[in-house]
Amino acid sequence: MTPSKTSQARLQIDQVHHDNESPLSIHDMTVAYHRKPVLWDIDYAAPQGKLVGIVGPNGAGKSTLIKACLDLVPRASGSVRIYGKRYKEQRSAVGYVPQRESVDWDFPASALDVVTMGRYGRIPWCIPPGKSDREAALHALNQTGMGDYANRQISKLSGGQQQRVFLARALVQDARVYFMDEPFAGVDAATESAIVTLLRELRERGRTVLVVHHDLQSVPEYFDEVLLLNMRIVAAGPTSAVFTEENLQKTYGGRLTLLSEAAEAIARNG
Amino acid sequence: MRSPARTFSTVLMGILMLGIFVAASTPAFGQDGTSSPRTITDTRFVWPSWDSIVRVALMRDHNTRIVVLGTTLLGLAAGLVGTFAYLRRRALMGDALSHATLPGVALAFLITGEKNLPFLLIGATVTGILGVLAVLAIRQSSRIREDAAIGIVLSVLFGAGMALMSVIQSTSNGNAAGLDQFIYGKAASMIRSDARMIGITALVVVVGTVLLFKEFRIVCFDQDFATSMGRNATVVDLFMMGFVVLTTVIGLQAVGLILIVAMLIIPAAAARFWTDDLKMMTVVAGGIGALSGWLGASISALLPKMPTGAIIVLTAGALFIFSMTFAVRRGILAGAVRRIRLRRRIALQHLLRAMAEIEERTGQPTSVDSNELLTMRSWVKSDLRKLTSRAAGAGLIDKKSWSELKLTQLGRTHAQRILRNHRLWETYLIEHADIAPSHVDRDADEIEHVLSERLIRELEATLEAGKDIPPSPHESMPEFAGAKP
Amino acid sequence: MTEWIWSIDGWIVAAGAFAAMACALPGTFLVLRKMSLMGDAISHAVLPGLAIAFLITHSRGVLPMFVGAVIVGVLTAVGTQVITRYGKVESGAAMGVVFSIFFALGLVLIRQAADHVDLDPGCVLYGNLSQIPLDSLDGSIPPAVINVGLALLLNITFVGLLYKELKICAFDPQLATTVGINANVMHYLLMIVVAITTVASFEAVGSILVIAMLIVPPAAARLLSDRLGTTLILAVTIAATSAVLGHLSALRGPKWIGLDSSVSIETAAMIAVMTGVIFTLTLLVAPKYGLIGRWYQRLGLALQIVREDMLGILYRWFEHRPDEHILKDDLLKAVGRGILARFALGSLKRRQAIEYVGGEGIRLSDSGKDAATKLVRDHRLWEGYMATHFDLPLDHLHEPAERVEHYISEDLSELLKQEMGDLGEDPHGRKIPE
């Protein structure tokens, strides 16, 4: 859609703009589903060692942002760097917690099986996971308070427990930067506080965690940084500075209808 | 869990090696071994003699041996690869694939002009893959959904195959006979080289499945996560569908293209009833597939006029129905038994709790009248009678008559623990879950019966409860005291 | 046998067309309800029903056949539901389990019954279409034609009477339940109708090809229309057309591809192939959902974008140098040259939006000026909108605006204007034209 004359210019910008120290640096990223833009020109650099909340209304593109960073959905334009390198070269530095509803929990697997999957990234093709992998998985299960349920079939776990299993799976990835897609959705209070404790532990250990989050009330308590998103980045920065009434109004208010209408128009005609 | 994995692969390899060894060591193909003195018009159903049963079971006939081995190995491979196709929800894709092989078989025959099995199967593979690609292309490029896309490809390509077959039948004189065995399958026509080919393909599929087990598992469970870790789902799918294609193609001759999809779906679906572990499921599915192949081929060798493919599928179907009904883990009967047991346990706990509450009120071991119990809960009289008898049988209460029930020492211990759990849970709900006290009793009723020891301990810790029974939250709130007698 | 003889080919086409049309009606609802494969399943599964009816009555009577089919049709639907619900098996796989077991059972039974009745597995697959006229040597209507004709009538009545109910169930079964239509009953009715149609069409086109009739014409019709009524009519028309074309190609096909006339092709198979051909053509050329149409649309849009870019460039040029013209070569270079640019230039000339000055100079005409003004206005309004609502550096404004400007409709433009009030200038400090 962009005239080709800009592509060369953009290539040069690529090399200049990315912050090599930042756990996640997004430059000029646009993402479209079926040619309908859902994210426009995202520019963002996450600070090192912080808990970052990604906040915005439904359909704002929060999950898409994460998926586009992990190459799970194609980007129409722009580039993403994890500690200065492409995602492809930095897989071992990245941990991912998908939405709980994205998988079939009736799958024949135990909690331990699922957590062990977190180690698959470092095991070559065709080699089965070994003892050390299972020990790491058990350790992660214990960390999330799920040690007693290691051998339980995953469909027999409660929603909160399933979420903890997903978190444990991310823990065994032992990544430097984590992407979590609504880990707090539909969990009980005990799990919520367990997750928060875990997130803080990760921060203590110098990890960066980006969390898609729905509950506005808990944002100031849980996150050091917020990224207010509604198809574009409305505001980003330290929670105390950015998480203001005015910015929220901008993010959630009805004044952005034009943006989605323009997206609709592009989808219709493109 | 490494050792089960090793056992798993060792067992599979063993079966395969055995199969290939026997297939390879059988002497050259002789004449049709199943000689039947019966005429075609004879419709009586004759039970096979014991002798012939033994002969088939021990595979003394050379021909039977080949057919049975071939179908067994086929069933094994189909069960293994079918497990993943089933979990990946690609099962019916196999149906489009198998129907799409027909034009390939016909074209291969038209081009080569002879019935050379490898060539025919190569043709089948090519159009089969084209069929799968067509399904994907239709789904991707239009508003037609996957189910309709499968139906379109399956029926149109099959129609094209039938048209080509009719051309072949009217042009070539005689040497095309038997091409239609690919539609319904004709295991009896299998010769040694066919069995060997099936064996080798099955080996490829089994080894591939064992090697790629980890990749198949993660892509089936969580495609996005797999991709995020660098397991390209498309590449893994390519292997998976490749194995499905291989299995389908070698199954054409034995089971036929209409029914081969059953060999992919049924063993996997049946295996799921028995286990919650993917490795076990794969082994069980392979076993059920192999068993259906073996039994089906043996039965059709014994009974005249029984199409092998159909019998194999019916055997698999019988195993499926058996699994669905009787499987310990997820079977219907086991589920029903579990539900009944739970209901009984809950009823018993209700009874004990009610009696404990009465004793709490009177402050001493009391003889309880069943009629009083009837006022406390919506029990049906006959149910309560059965319930009290059962409790008496378990030594929990002394039942002298309808109106004289008394907790035994054992019963009292249980009853007090139950009452305590109930109260703990009620209190927790009110204090921590923000539920109106009037709703608490019902919620507590449902959950307290499934509380584990660990949860109880957590409850105790949260509520800082002592070892005694906490007071009922209802009684401490006068406005609700009337709500519950 | 390559000449068309009405007393023979007429009946064949009639049987084929009636069967195809009868299938297309319930098939449309199967496709809409994403249950296409239920048609697949039922047409496989009626086999044992037929075989049992034969075995019991020792005849090919119509009534027992239908009773057998209805029972099996319902059993398939129930079996699938039971396995899905109680066995926790995914519905597609459950369907596969049920129909393959039934089909295998049917095969075994047919082998047993084969000596009593004239029914063999081959005729199950592709029917007996070419034999149908043999029944009308005395001039009467062949019974097979009557059967499929009756099925067609039944289906027309079914769809006609329950149009509203079928429509709402296809759209939203839960909504149907809330307005007092039992979606479950409708589901089973549809299954029974499919089963009856399948059985009636069996003789004409065979079991597997029934699936083509059930699914392919409705799927093709789906690509052509968004309205249920039109879709039904189109599906039926496509079905009838493929029957005619199918028989014609079976008759003349060997001659066309240079085979001698002794070669015969199965008509039923060719009908299925023809539905596929029609579907493929539709997929390519359907106006709204066809691939070529969409490619063409996209090409047109790409052309429009280049055209509008040119207008924008011309406008900005004349904003600063109202008296100079721009060189054709420069203009082409500015939008990246290429064949699209030349096309766009030609199209602008044809619309008289630009005028040539001298040989190579270009300037905007009056009408071109109007169009360019609107364009630049929208662009600058959008930039203004972005700047007010998002925290963006100035150098990041132009590109997104350029991306959007081509899609801004009159309404959206009006909204933008309201939203932005009287801005007067864009964020770069340039005037927003009126």
From chain C, the residues in CB contact with B309 under 8 A are 104, 107
User: Are both B117 and B243 inside the same structural domain?
Assistant: yes
pLDDT at B359 over 60: yes
Distance from the Cα of residue C347 to its chain's centroid? 34
User: For residues C411 and B106, which has the higher predicted lDDT (pLDDT)?
Assistant: B106
* CB of C76 closer than 8 Å to CB of C41: yes
pLDDT band at B329 (very low <50, low <70, confident <90, very high): confident
On whether the CB atoms of residues A111 and A154 are closer than 8 A, the answer is yes
B269 and C89 within 8 Å at the Cβ level: the answer is yes
pLDDT at B244: 94
Residues of A in contact with B217 (CB under 8 A): 109, 113, 117
pLDDT at C95 > cutoff 70: yes
Q: How confident is the model at residue B64 (pLDDT cuts 50, 70, 90)?
A: confident
More confident call, C254 vs C164: C164
Q: Could you tell me how many CB contacts below 8 A there are between chain A and chain C?
A: 62
**DSSP string for residues in C4-54:** --IIIIIHHHHHHHHHHHHHHHHHHHHHHTT-HHHHHHHHHHHHHHHHHHH
Phi, psi angles (nearest 5°) of residue B399: -115, 105
- pLDDT cut 70: percent of chain C above it: 84
The pLDDT value recorded for residue A2 is 37
Boundaries of every domain in chain A: 17-99+176-269
Domain contains B317? no
CA end-to-end distance (rounded Å), chain C: 76
Mean pLDDT taken over chain B: 81
CA distance linking residue B26 with residue B12, whole number of Å: 21
Summarize pLDDT for A242-263 with one digit per residue, the tens.
898 888 888 886 555 566 666 6
pLDDT score at B140: 83
Sign of dihedral through CA atoms B143, B148, B150, B151?
A: negative
- For domain C294-364, the question of CATH label 3.30.1490 is answered with no
The pLDDT-based confidence of C215 (bands split at 50, 70, 90) is very high
Residue listed under structure tokens 């047993």 = C112
Choose among B214, B227, B276: nearest Cβ to A129: B214
Contacts of B42 (CB under 8 A, 6+ apart): none
C-beta separation of B186 from B178 below 8 A: yes
Look at residue B174 in the predicted model and tell me its pLDDT.
Answer: 60
Average pLDDT over residues B80-86: 95
Q: How confident is the model at residue B43, as a pLDDT?
A: 47
The residue among B112 and A115 whose pLDDT is bigger is A115
Superfamily classification of domain A17-99+176-269: P-loop containing nucleotide triphosphate hydrolases (3.40.50.300)
C215-229 b/e with 16+ CB inside 10 Å = b?
bbbbbbbbbbbeebe
pTM tops 0.95: no
Residues of A with CB under 8 A from a CB of B: 67, 70-72, 88, 91, 94, 96, 98, 102-104, 107-110, 113-114, 117, 120-121, 123, 125-131, 134, 148, 153, 155, 169, 173, 189
Q: Is residue B34 part of a domain?
A: no
Domain with CATH 1.10.60 in chain C: 369-420
Q: Which of A256, A265, A270 is closest, CB to CB, to C389?
A: A256
Ranges for all domains in chain C classified under CATH 1.10.10: 294-364
Q: Which of B451, B414, B413 lies closest to B429 in space, CA to CA?
A: B451
Residue B86 covered by a domain = yes
Interchain CB distance below 8 Å, A72 and B212: no
Range of the domain at B366: 336-481
Q: What is the pLDDT of residue A267?
A: 62
What pLDDT shows up at residue C221? 94
Which pLDDT belongs to residue C21?
A: 94
Q: Which residue of A has its CA nearest to B275?
A: A108
Interface of C with B in 330-359 (CB under 8 A): none
What is the rounded average pLDDT of the residues A39-49? 88
Strands laid side by side in the A77-81 sheet: A36-46, A24-33, A77-81
Residue among C131, C105, C98 at smallest CA distance from C202: C131
- Total domains in chain B come to 2
Residue B476, pLDDT score = 44
- pLDDT band, residue A79 (cuts 50/70/90): confident
User: C interface mutation test: which of B155, B259, B324 has the most C CBs within 10 A?
Assistant: B155
Give whole-number Cα distances, B313 to B72, B99, B212, C101, C148, in Å. 12, 17, 28, 6, 32
The CATH number given to whatever domain includes residue B408 is: 1.10.10.10
- Min mean pLDDT across A111-115, B144-148, B421-425, C196-200 is at B421-425
Count of Cβ atoms closer than 10 Å to residue B122 Cβ: 15
pLDDT given for residue C184 in this prediction: 84
Say if residue A134's pLDDT is above 90. yes
Residues 6+ apart with CB under 8 A from C174: C183
Q: What was the pLDDT predicted at B176?
A: 64
Q: What is the mean pLDDT of residues B377-404?
A: 86
Least confident of A143-152, B463-472, C189-198, C327-336: B463-472
Q: Which of B136, B156, B326, B337 best tests the C interface by mutation, with the highest count of C CBs <10 A?
A: B156
> Distance between CA B259 and CA B264 in Å, rounded?
9
Residue B132 belongs to domain with CATH number: 1.10.3470.10
pLDDT bracket for residue B2 (50, 70, 90): very low
Average pLDDT over residues C84-97: 89
Q: What is chain B's length? A: 485
* Residue from the list B143, B160, B184 with its beta carbon closest to the beta carbon of C273: B160
Higher pLDDT, C421 or C22: C22
Answer whether A258 sits within 8 Å of C419, measured CB to CB: yes
Helix axes C36-57, C91-113, angle to 10 degrees: 20
Q: Mark whether B182 and B297 lie in a shared domain.
A: yes
Question: Over chain A, what HEC string results?
Answer: CCCCHHHHHHHHHHHHHCCCCCCEEEEEEEEEECCEEEEEEEEEEECCCCEEEEECCCCCCHHHHHHHHCCCCCCCEEEEEECCECHHHCHHHEEEECCHHHCCCCCCCEHHHHHHHHHHHHCCCCCCCCHHHHHHHHHHHHHCCCHHHCCCEHHHCCHHHHHHHHHHHHHHCCCCEEEEECCCCCCCHHHHHHHHHHHHHHHHCCCEEEEEECCHHHHHHHCCEEEEEECEEEEEEEHHHHCCHHHHHHHHCHHHHHHHHHHHHHHHHC
Most confident of C110-119, C266-275, C332-341: C266-275
Rama region for A168: left / alpha / beta (φ>0; ψ in -120 to 50; rest): alpha
Residue A10 has pLDDT above 50, yes or no: no
> What number is the average pLDDT over the span B177-205?
83
Range B242-250 average pLDDT: 93
Cβ atoms within 10 Å, residue C178? 9
The residue of chain C with its CA nearest to that of A270 is C298
Mean pLDDT to the nearest integer, B120-140:
92
C-beta atoms of C104 and B148 within 8 A = no
Chains that touch B (3 or more CB pairs under 8 A): A, C
Nearest to A93 by CA among A23, A18, A19, A21: A23
Range scoring the smallest mean pLDDT among B124-133, B209-218, C385-394: C385-394
Residue B275 in contact with residue A151, Cβ under 8 Å? no
The burial of C140, by beta-carbon neighbours within 10 Å (0-12 exposed, 13-18 middle, 19 or more buried), is given as exposed
Which of these ranges, A91-100, A181-190, B308-317, has the smallest mean pLDDT?
A181-190
Q: Is the dihedral of CA B221, B225, B231, B232 positive or negative?
A: positive
Give the start-end residues of each E strand in C46-116. Answer: none
Q: Encode pLDDT of A221-242 as tens digits.
A: 999 999 999 888 888 999 999 8
Torsion (CA) C167, C169, C47, B97 in degrees, nearest 10: 90
Could you tell me which residues come within 8 angstroms of residue C144 by beta carbon, excluding any fewer than 6 positions away? Answer: C15, C128, C132, C135, C203, C204
Amino acid at A47: P
Tell me how far apart the alpha carbons of residues C183 and C174 are, in angstroms, rounded to a whole number. 8
pLDDT band at A159 (very low <50, low <70, confident <90, very high): confident
Is the CB of residue B438 less than 8 Å from the CB of residue B483?
A: yes
What is the structure's pLDDT at A15?
Answer: 44
Residue A132 pLDDT > 80: yes
Per-residue pLDDT band at A14 (split at 50, 70, 90): very low
The DSSP bridge partners found for residue A94 are A177
Minimal-distance CA residue of chain A relative to B452: A148
Whether the predicted pLDDT of B370 surpasses 70 = yes
Task: Please answer whether residues B332 and B95 qualify as being in contact, where contact means their C-beta atoms are separated by less than 8 angstroms.
Answer: no
Chain A nearest CA to C404, separation (Å): 7
Strand partners, B80: none
- For position B39, what pLDDT does the model report? 40
Are residues B415 and B282 part of one domain?
Answer: no
Sign of the Cα torsion C403, C406, C410, C411 reads negative
Rg of chain B taking only CA atoms, in angstroms: 32
- Confidence band for B108, pLDDT divided at 50, 70 and 90: very high
Mean pLDDT, chain A, whole residue set: 84
* B361 and B277 housed in the same domain: no
Distance CA B254, CA A246 (A): 72
User: Are B294 and B341 contained in the same domain?
Assistant: no
B225 — pLDDT class (breaks 50, 70, 90): very high
**Chain C nearest CA to A266, separation (Å):** 6
In angstroms, the CA B250 to CA B78 distance is 10
Residues B277, B408, single domain; the answer is no
Is residue B87 one of the residues assigned to a domain?
yes
Between residues C8 and C118, the one the model is more confident about: C8
DSSP label of B477 = S
> What average pLDDT does this structure show over C78-92?
89
- The share of chain C scoring above pLDDT 90, in percent, equals 20
Residue B147: list chain C partners with CB under 8 A: 34-37, 92
Q: How confident is the model at residue A212 (pLDDT cuts 50, 70, 90)?
A: very high
Instruction: Tell me the Cα Rg of chain A.
Output: 19
Q: Phi and psi (nearest 5°) for C382?
A: -65, -45
The reported pLDDT for the residue numbered B466 is 65
pLDDT of residue A12: 37
**pLDDT (mean) for B323-341:** 89
Distances (CA, A) of B406 to B370, B383, B392, B469: 10, 18, 9, 20
Distance CA B159, CA C275 (A): 10
Same domain, B266 and B350: no
Is B145 at the interface with chain C, CB within 8 A? yes
- Contact list, C298 vs chain A (CB under 8 Å): 270
| Portion of chain B with pLDDT greater than 90, in percent | 32
ipTM of the prediction: 0.85
CA dist A256 and A239 (Å) reads 22
Q: Is residue B244 part of a domain?
A: yes
The reply to whether B392 falls in a domain is: yes
CATH of region C369-420: 1.10.60
Q: Which of B400, B417, B398, B420 is nearest to B408 (CA)?
A: B398
Q: Is the pLDDT of residue B357 over 90?
A: no
Residue B22 lies in a domain: yes
pLDDT band at residue C94, thresholds of 50, 70 and 90?
very high
Strand partners, A181: A212
Q: What are phi and psi of A78, to 5 degrees?
A: 90, 175
Task: Please write the tens of the pLDDT for every residue from C127-144.
Answer: 777 777 777 667 677 878
Average pLDDT over residues B284-313: 90
